[in-house]
Structure 1
Amino acid sequence: MDTTNRRSLAMLKAVAAGRAQLTCSREPDLFVDGVPCCDQFTAHTLSHHGLIRPGRPGLIGQRVPAVLTDAGRELVAEQPVAA
Structure 2
Amino acid sequence: MAGHTHRQLAVLRAAAAGHVEMTCSREPHLYVDGLACCDPTLGHQLAGLLAPEPAAPRGPGLRVPAVLTAAGQAALAPSAAA
Q: Give the structure-2-normalised TM-score.
A: 0.85
RMSD: 1.6
Q: CA deviation at 1:77?
A: 1.0
Q: How many residues align?
A: 77
Q: CA deviation at 1:27?
A: 0.4
Alignment of 1:1-80 (within 5 A): 3-47=3-47, 50-56=48-54, 57-78=57-78, 79-80=80-81
The answer to whether the 8 A contact 2:20-2:66 is kept is yes
Tell me if the contact between 2:51 and 2:67 (Cα under 8 Å) persists in the aligned partners: yes
Q: Which runs of 4+ in 1 moved over 4 A?
A: none
Whether the 8 Å contact between 1:23 and 1:64 is mirrored in structure 2 is: yes
Structure 1 window deviating more from structure 2 (52-61 vs 14-23): it is 52-61
Deviations 1:30-72 (A, max 9, x none): 000000000121222102xx10010134111000000000000
5+ residue gaps, structure 1: none
The alignment-based identity, stated in percent, is 49
Letter in 2 for 1:39: D
Alpha-carbon separation, structure 2, partners of 1:5 and 1:28: 19
